[in-house]
Amino acid sequence: MEGPAKSGLDGERLAEAMWLNEQHWARAGRPVSAETVHKHLRIGAASSRALTRAVREVNRAAVDGSSAAAIEKNQSSAEANGFRLHHVSSAALS
């Protein structure tokens, strides 16, 4: 799979799509869709799909990198990404 830089994508558009993705994650708790990128950047459907794939590839690489760093530091990837899982007793769930 080729990276975003090698795919011929415009760097400025990629930066805009990444910003949209960050905003969307903060608001909706999930990645931005190609349709949202298409509407906000006023670009064609094929370009918006390519940008969305590139943004997700960058995100995946960041998560994979932090997971690898966590393994080296003997941490869970959740801790390395700033999340902590807490034990919840079954009594608390009742």
Residue 72: pLDDT band (50, 70, 90) is: low
Per-residue confidence (pLDDT) for residue 63, from 0 to 100: 78
Residue 74: pLDDT band (50, 70, 90) is: low
Phi-psi region of 65 (alpha: psi -120 to 50; beta: other; left: phi over 0): alpha
Give this prediction's pTM: 0.60
Distance CA 55, CA 72 (A): 26
